[in-house]
Amino acid sequence: MEFFDALETRPPDVRERQQMAALPSLIAFAKSYAPAIDELLADIDAETVTNRAALASLPVIRKTELHERQQAARPFGGFVGEWRGRVGRVFSSPGPIYEPEGRSPDYWRTARAMFAAGFRAGDLVHNSFSYHMTPGAWIMEAGAHALGCTVFPGGVGQTEQQLLAAVDLRPDAYVGTPSFLKILLEKADELKLDVSSLKKALLSGEAYPPSLRDALTARGVNGYQCYATADVGVIAYESAAREGLIVDEGVILEIVRPGTGDPVPEGEVGEVVVTVFNRDYPLVRFGTGDLSAILPASLTTASACGRTGQRIKGWLGRADQTTKIKGMFVHPSQVADVLKRHPEVERARLVVDNATGQDRMILNCEGSGATSLGEAIVASLREITKLRGEVAFHATGSLPNDGKVIEDVRKYE
């Protein structure tokens, strides 16, 4: 069985030991290079961050904070040091959020994901991500070039022109969103164009349900998922085993309870937080805002493809569940603050409804011994959110494991 490199098959304990050993140097560099990191970690001795527990004590940097700091100090909000001449490109994503691209080959670490999807040197890759302002297309192009592939920069839209190019050039592989690949193939059928040269695909940017995967497979296209963001590049990727997404070798991944920086137990859904070994943009504990879960035993049991990296379930939704109730915003972090006051509550879910014609919030709690704390929890809820609420108690393990801290079920007819 082929692998991109030996890192993919190293024993999990060796990977963990090597990554943790590299953390102090990364954090020390980040503090010296990026003023915002130095401010956030002012009281942290980098040499003490040598394990996951120490890493979990550091603050999470979330997209909202990036935006606020960038608004105050354009373009990178102090998260990048002297950048003119150092970085090769600057991108703008909706928000706007600005992201740098360093000059190192395969800066976004995409080649490994492409290799797992079957891409090889000499392949012609049809790239249907946008080349305009955002980094999507460049993320894929860098990985393809690192593998020795040739790229056709199709970009977005212009379906018929892209198809005509595919007929002439006979690409081996496609990168882009799964929905646009489906559009291309259906349009090719309508126009009676032969695009059968496409045999493999690396898909990202949106959900890739099994139904669509099976439909592409039936057409002879083996499509694999890649989870990446404009801030940190590739986080995890799918292999032929299709046993979740394998965390990239350059990433330390944590799953935390939304609104907090607290890691959740293995298998529980929470927010994806990553630390990436990237000295051009050294984000430490970056909260992606995406929900996922670590596959149980993935740190001790190798995937069927032979790769030994930690695996996650894939994209399971968004973590930002801030909800407006009676004119007041309630945040997941406020629910976490209530739980900190009452450790007898193991898990909680704030449900908002309007069944009585008015907004109502009910904090559903799990945990033995919690039922005797009803009045105290109600008081904490009111003090922290400035809103009246109710409390309901449930058996341990009965609340859904979907990462939701706040669920809005209000109906407006």
Domain annotation covers residue 311? yes
Domain ranges, residue 48: 8-77+244-319
Same domain, 256 and 356: no
The residues, ordered by sequence, that sit 6+ positions from 210 with a Cβ below 8 Å of its Cβ are none
Same domain, 109 and 66: no
Domain annotation covers residue 89? no
Are the C-beta atoms of 407 and 351 separated by less than 8 Å? yes
Considering only 8-17, 58-67, 214-223, 325-334, which range has the smallest mean pLDDT?
A: 325-334
Domain annotation covers residue 274? yes
| pLDDT the model gives residue 1 | 65
- Considering 206-220, 245-259, 399-413, the range whose residues carry the highest mean pLDDT is 245-259
* pLDDT of 413 higher than 60: no
Strands 97-101 and 89-93: antiparallel
Residue entry with tokens 């996922």:
292
pLDDT tens readout for residues 126-160: 999 999 999 999 999 999 999 999 999 999 889 99
**How does the average pLDDT of the chain come out, rounded?**
93
Same domain, 170 and 225: yes
Same domain, 220 and 108: yes
Considering only 141-155, 157-171, 255-269, 308-322, which range has the smallest mean pLDDT?
A: 308-322
Tally of structural domains, the chain: 3
Rounded Cα–Cα distance for residues 76 and 66 (Å): 8
> Tokens for 411?
């109906």
* CA dihedral sign, ordered 72, 76, 77, 80: negative
Tally the residues of the chain.
413
- Specify the CATH number for the domain of residue 112: 3.40.50.12780
Same domain, 288 and 364: no
Domain-terminating residue out of 169, 195, 230: 230
Same domain, 296 and 355: no
Same domain, 16 and 54: yes
Domain-terminating residue out of 319, 339, 364: 319
Arithmetic mean of pLDDT, 216-244: 95
Bridge partners of residue 12, in order along the sequence:
none
Same domain, 351 and 289: no
* pLDDT of 370 higher than 80: no
Same domain, 309 and 282: yes
